[in-house]
Structure 1
Amino acid sequence: MNLQPDTATLMTVADLLSQRLVIPAFQRPYDWRNEKGRGRAQVSDFVYDIEDARHKKQPLFLGMIVACQDASGALQIVDGQQRLTTLMLALGAAGKGGDVIDHAVFPVRSWIKIKDDDRIFFEKLVAGRQPDEPNTLSQRLLADAFAELKTRNLDAEQLLQCRLIVYLAPTIAGATSLFERINLRGKEVSQFDLVKNKLIEWAASCEGSQQEELVQRITQRYGDLYRLLDPESVSRDQEYDSDRLLRIHWILFDNHPFSSSDRVLEKIDERIRERLENNQVATYISEYLDDLVQVCGVWLKVEDPISNPEAHPDLRDALLDFVKVPSDAELQPLVIAALIRLKGDAVKVIRMAEITAFRTALADKRSNYARSRKWRMAKEFKQGVYVDDVGGKVDTADKLNHQMYWAFCPYWEASESDVMGAGTLSKEEREATIFPLNSLDSPSFYRSYARLIHYIFWNYGRYLPKSDKWAEQTKSDMNPLDHEAWFSDEPGQFGTWDIEHIYPVNSADKSTPTGRKYAASMAPYLHHLGNLTVLPVSENRSWKNANFDEKLPKLQGAVRVSFNALLSDSKYIGNRMASSGQHWGENNCRKRAADIKEYASLQWGTAAVKALGVGCYDERVGLELELDDDDDAEDK
């Protein structure tokens, strides 16, 4: 069947087998999942549709394929490669591998030419030969999909009679433009891939050899990005969020303000249009992609520092601690900018970002607090144009930390404003401001700050065995507080531990008059930080809120961690209530919280920020914050 440009043709799969199809090098690798995989279950949905069509005794319609012809006459698949690749897998699983893989010619020819990285693996799979072990995510997904399809006893003739519409665009630009319009109307495709197709579409505006060179450049750089973002390359369980990368890079790359509601696809389209008249499209796209690849490499170290063993230990530890803070996201661009500009000296900036993120969370600020200023600071520092209020260049960790603190880091306590030379706070300011250290005394700490409890105890638990005060009482041969334990998805690791009330929520003490009196006295401290700990799920769930008398030996017999080892130490918690046995009381909560606060001030307090280069308020900074609509918006 001879297809004509700019026409849509209804075809069966059997008809389409006569065409030579190619998956262009700029396309993303195979990424469909089956029901055992992570994310969406497209392969399982595909099988369901096939079986449903068989029951209804009608051919299955596979939708529209968008393609354009290359110089050899082959059809380049711009939209539909995932469906067609799965269809080839299904034909191979149904015994029709010979229809899609031709071993009679050399080199081996497949009906659809798969991307080179996966071609040999795919051909062995469909031909019924054992491929090598998968070494990319796409190869693992191809193997998973094929294994799923093999179990379904598919009817090969039914597959060959499936129908689809093939639209043959006159140009690659026309094909990518149509792909974008289709996928902006409900179909789930990442911004990351839509931007790639937009760039290829704009490449068509270049003339002669420049057009071909630019398409090759886009293909090469996106190939670099796909390899960097492949979780298999770092043995990572979760995929990276490429759309998040795209947004963070745009914050650092583009000189215009960027808000949470903006789309990179639309912004990059605007910037390229501005360069049409000056014939700067190719230069701009090349610069954009080169910068995106650079930022991607650094972003991956921030996003997943546990998989970056070659990093300097101090830098890796700083990143590992930073990403543990639940509200670190808005400061991530600034950390990336520091890593690009300062390399190993970025350790101090990462540490300051961790303190800022933690203080911001404890001060009850939304994570988008001063967002625009954070992003502007990150952009200007990364581009090497950041200057302070008197025109001095901000180009060191100490100078950047000084600006960061005065721009958006909340005070640790009211007296910090005096110590740092900002002047004494007025009565109104004190009443209006929530100071982080005070938050640790909140009677509703559990309800307000549950997301921070693991982070606090992680740090506190690692500190106790090293402290002069508690080292002897907290030494242990068992230590579940290493970095792998935090990031591991394995059952029983620290990040999955239960938050436990030392004095239980539903105490059996309430069954007696004395117990009820005791419960009433503890009510204000139930959700207080001094009454909280964390425990392995398996050891906690079976206790069913036992009384403290019963719980204490279990706490100490559980996987031993330093903050639980101290729960019977009178030097740490004081004397327990003795009204009807040794109960955990208000005084115990207060004394325990006081010790945690003492540690917190060492870790996140005034002395900690001063050690990172923050100095007293001076003419280099302004106290007023630049708030805009984006800062007041909800996170998106």
Structure 2
Amino acid sequence: MALEPIDSRLIGIGALLKQQRLAVPTYQRPYTWEIEHVKELFKDIIDAKQKKHDQYFLGTVVLTNADDSIKSIIDGQQRIVTTSIFISSIRNYFKNKGDDARANKLTADYISNADLRTMNPSPRVLILPDDQSFYNEYVVGVPTIGRRSPRNLTDTQKRLFSAIREARDTINSVTAISKNPDLDLFDLIDFIEKKVVLVYLDVGSESNAYVIFEVLNDRGLDLTVADLLKNYVFSMAGKEGLLSCQSKWKEMTTLISNTNGEGDIRNFIRHDWISRNGLVREKNLYDSIKKSVYDEKTVSDYMDNIIVSANIYSSFSIFSSSVWKDYSDKVRKSLMLFDMANITQVRPLLLSVFSNFSVQEVNKTIPMIASWSVRFLICGAGGSGVLEDNYAQRAKDVSDKKIKNATDLFNSFNILPTDIQFQKDFESAKVSKTQLARWYLSELELEKTKNAQKIVNPDTLEVNLEHILPHNPDSSWSISQNLASKCVNMIGNLALMEAKTNSIIGNSSFDDKKSHFSQSSFDLTKEISNFKSWGSQEIEKRQVELAKLAVKRWKNKP
């Protein structure tokens, strides 16, 4: 792609704010700097000024033309926004001491002009629409900042507020030790305007910017796969497809970040790609996508696919989502297992199955994969690398229509623990994660009773996990602390118990607990009352029986 002429110059960041209105494009990620990044920038600026350095270099910013009066920030949002917050705190100092003339001058020069027609504030920095009102109130305006953050802030607004508070504290520290605070702040503003410098690249069009952006990454700019991919697909989208591509990218990032957090976007992008193309490591992901997404048509197809996947992926931890309304309760319960046990390697296969199988086949397949997951968790079989490889290949086979149903998938998966191995390993298994232990026992209870209507209440205020032998048994238990520690988290020592009863029995002796067990509505819990005493032998005996149920409950076959 031929590059258009580029305006490149060294400029103080204060001068940039003074000369130009800047806007963050709506498809960009929001303000992401954590407090440690903010502190580092403020400290570096103060230190550089105090040591009388000629310049403090902030790096490179990449801008494009948004319209005649505004430049779009392609790279540099975090530094620009944070610096504007810092200058606003200097302005606030003068405003709070009653020096309105200087406060208004700082506002007009660096923060906001008034619109000539309406006289409404016209901020020099426009961030994403969801956060602009907050920015206008706390950066453009002169707020009162208390010890507590305002209520109901988004994660982005919390980061912005932390930066605002840190800027105030930094300026307070400067003025507290100064013999002439006003003069020192004048000097600080001059330093920010003239000597806190950056390389300003005005690259003209957005397509030009994306080429520059990738070159900058090759030269050491620390970008994520998501950053690189976003700019690459935008550069390939063409003039007619760019707006649609930007809109879909924004929709995708909103879906994933709202449910999984911003940090999971790169995981989603990788899992989505694996679901159709097989295993690729993160370091090779960008190059792999570039080989297949290379023009307007392939970009359009890629973005269509990624939106479909994002709707599914973002609902993996929302079990009441309307996405699952056509599927069985077993599917939702399986998703609950994947989420609580943090089983992420399976996600590409899940994406592929939900995208390609009929509802009837999904209802068979997802519970079967959940059964496999339980077996892998109990047996420790395969290892995460082996599982990821196998799940990835099967996901691609499903997408390629080589695997068309649950039976095909079972027949292709040859690393599953056998019934004999699973039962043997279950007999000695321990579970330290309460939520997972509750899930196991709930499923075993359903296998025991064969009553599909008897679903254990997931509310921990109603049903608790009881350790029959407590963590810290007293002398009535006749067991050493060392042996108790080995037995306490064995599945055979765990039981579902009505919450009110559980709070009553606490660390009582086994004899005191037995009468409560006998009255439990859970069959597996009620059976515990048949034991005369409780120790390591009884725990092992009960766990052997639970292991037999486990083989029946979590089958390899659909």
What TM-score range do you get, normalising by the shorter chain? 0.7 to 0.9
Query: Partner residue of 2:199?
Result: 166
Q: Measure, in 2, the Cα distance between the counterparts of 1:286 and 1:373.
A: 29
SS at match of 1:368: helix
| Alignment partners' CA distance in 2, 1:63 and 1:556 | 72
> 372, 375, 384: which is aligned to 1:356?
372
Inter-partner Cα distance in structure 1 for 2:12 and 2:246: 30
* Distance change (3 Å), C-alpha of 1:61 and 1:562: farther
Provide the rounded CA distance (Å) in 2 between the counterparts of 1:13 and 1:467: 71
Aligned counterparts, 1:391-540, within 5 A: 394=404, 399-404=405-410, 406-408=412-414, 410-414=416-420, 435-442=421-428, 445-446=429-430, 454-461=435-442, 464=445, 468=449, 481-482=458-459, 502=469, 528-531=490-493
**Pair 1:261–1:170, CA change in 2 (3 A):** closer
Alpha-carbon shift at residue 47 of structure 1 (Å)? 3.5
| Alignment match of 1:77 (pick from 57, 73, 80) | 73
Q: For 2:387 and 2:257, how far apart are their aligned partners in 1? A: 33
From the superposition, tell whether residues 464 and 70 of structure 1 become closer, same or farther in structure 2 (CA, over 3 Å). closer
Distance in 2 separating the partners of 1:55 and 1:534? 65
Between the aligned partners of 2:112 and 2:65, the Cα distance in structure 1 is 21
Q: Are the aligned partners of 2:443 and 2:553 in contact in 1 as well (CA < 8 Å)?
A: no
Q: Deviations over 1:517-544 (max 9, x none)?
A: x789989867754346799xxxx9xx9x
Choose from 114, 132, 156 the match for 1:138. 156
In structure 1, distance between residues paired with 2:337 and 2:301 = 30
Mapped contact 1:67–1:79 kept (Cα < 8 A):
yes
Structure 2 residue corresponding to 1:244, chosen from 267, 270, 274: 267
Which residue of 2 is the match for residue 286 of structure 1?
Answer: 300
What is the DSSP-based 3-state SS (H/G/I as helix, E as strand, rest coil) of the residue aligned with 1:26? coil
Aligned residue in 2 for 1:615: none
Residues 149-158 or 78-87, more deviating: 149-158
Gaps of 5+ in 1: 35-40, 204-210, 276-280, 389-393, 415-434, 486-491, 577-583, 613-636
Tell me what 1:314 maps to. 328
Matched to 1:92, the amino acid is: S
Are 2:343 and 1:328 equivalent residues in the alignment?
yes
Match of 2:314 in 1: 300
How far off is 1:262 after superposition? 4.7
SS in 1 for 2:419: coil
CA gap of 1:311–1:373, structure 2 versus 1, over 3 A, is closer
Mark the runs of 5 or more structure 2 residues left unpaired by the alignment.
Answer: 92-105, 145-149, 175-184
* Amino acid paired to 2:440: N
SS of alignment partner, residue 28 of structure 1:
coil
- The 1:319/1:86 distance shift into structure 2, 3 A limit, reads farther
User: Are 2:64 and 2:209, in contact at CA under 8 Å, matched by a contact in 1?
Assistant: yes
Residue aligned with 1:64, SS: strand
Deviations along 1:368-423, one digit per CA (max 9) or x if unpaired, are 335444323323434xx4236xxxxx2xxxx3244235524624424xxxxxxxxx
- Kept in 2: contact 1:14–1:161 (CA 8 A): no
Distance 2:140 2:513 in 1: 58
Which of the residues 176, 180, 193 maps onto 2:227?
193
1: distance between equivalents of 2:484 and 2:132?
67
Q: Is the 8 A contact 2:49 2:191 kept in 1?
A: no
Q: Does 1:124 align with 2:137?
A: yes
> In 1, distance between residues paired with 2:63 and 2:122?
20
Contact 1:101–1:123 under 8 Å retained in 2: no
Picking from 284, 287, 290, the partner of 1:269 is 290
Equivalent of 2:239 in 212, 228, 243 = 212
Cα RMSD of the aligned pairs, angstroms, is 4.6
The reply on whether 1:597 has 2:547 as its aligned counterpart is: yes
Q: Distance in 2 between matches of 1:24 and 1:294?
A: 24
- Decide whether the 8 Å contact of 1:89 with 1:149 is kept in 2: yes
Determine whether 1:45 maps to 2:45: no
User: How many residues are matched?
Assistant: 505
Query: Does the C-alpha gap of structure 1 residues 164 and 524 become closer, same or farther in structure 2, counting only changes over 3 Å?
Result: closer
Give the alignment partner of residue 375 of structure 1, picking from 386, 389, 392. 392
Separation of aligned partners in 2, 1:520 and 1:116: 59
Partner of 2:23: 22
Following superposition, the deviation at residue 569 of structure 1 comes to: 3.8
* Pair 1:91–1:356, CA change in 2 (3 A): same
- Measured after TM superposition, the shift of residue 438 of structure 1 is 0.9
8 Å Cα contact 1:377/1:386 also seen in 2: no
Cα deviation 1:15-44 (Å, max 9, x = unaligned): 54112323233322222233xxxxxx4233
Match of 2:112 in 1: 101
- Check the 8 A contact 2:23/2:127 in 1, yes or no: yes
- State how far apart, in whole Å, the 1-side matches of 2:208 and 2:15 are: 27
Q: For residues 551 and 17 of structure 1, do their structure 2 counterparts lie closer, same or farther at Cα, with a shift above 3 Å needed?
A: farther
| Cα deviation digits, residues 193-214 of structure 1 (max 9, x gap) | 22111223445xxxxxxx3223
CA–CA distance in 2 between the matches of 1:270 and 1:469? Answer: 52
Q: Is the 8 A contact 2:449 2:523 kept in 1?
A: no
Indicate the SS of the match to 1:575.
coil
**Partner of 1:624 in structure 2?**
none
Contact 1:327 1:367 in 2 (8 A): no
Q: Which moved more, 1:340-349 or 1:238-247?
A: 340-349
Structure 1 residues 458 and 378: CA distance shift in structure 2, 3 A: same
Shift of 1:81: 0.7
Q: Do the aligned partners of 1:461 and 1:561 also contact (CA within 8 Å) in 2?
A: no
Cα distance in 1, alignment partners of residues 43 and 214 from structure 2: 27
Alpha-carbon distance between aligned partners in 2 of 1:364 and 1:27, rounded to the nearest angstrom:
41
How much does 1:600 deviate?
Answer: 1.6
SS in 2 for 1:32: coil
- Distance of aligned partners of 1:373 and 1:569 in 2 relative to their CA distance in 1, 3 Å threshold: closer
Classify the secondary structure of the residue corresponding to 1:164: strand
Q: Equivalent residue for 1:149? A: 167
| SS of match in other structure, 1:247 | helix
Query: Structure 1 503/601 Cα, relative in aligned 2: closer, same or farther at 3 Å?
Result: same
Checking the alignment, whether the CA contact within 8 Å between 2:467 and 2:488 is kept in structure 1 is: no
Structure 1 residues 351, 523: closer, same or farther in 2, change over 3 A?
Answer: closer
CA distance in 2, matches of 1:117, 1:19: 22
Asked if the contact 2:257/2:264 (under 8 Å) is kept, the reply is: no
1:221 aligns with 2:248: yes
- Amino acid of the residue matched to residue 575 of structure 1? K
Worse overlay, 587-596 or 548-557: 548-557
- Tell me what 2:58 maps to: 62
1:134-184 Cα distance to aligned partner (Å, 9 max, x none) = 675434433443344344436764255221213325454453344334446
**C-alpha distance in structure 1 between counterparts of 2:521 and 2:220, whole Å:** 52
Following superposition, the deviation at residue 601 of structure 1 comes to 2.9
Of Structure 1 and Structure 2, the greater helix share is in 2
- State the match for 2:532 in structure 1: 575
**Conservation of the 8 A alpha-carbon contact between 1:461 and 1:562:** no
- Pair 1:80–1:240, CA change in 2 (3 A): closer
The answer to whether the Cα contact below 8 Å between 2:448 and 2:523 also exists between their aligned partners in 1 is: no
Q: Matched residues in 1 for 2:554 and 2:139: separation? A: 57
1:290-339 CA distance string (max 9 Å, x none)? 2111111111111x224736742835733543324636322222222222
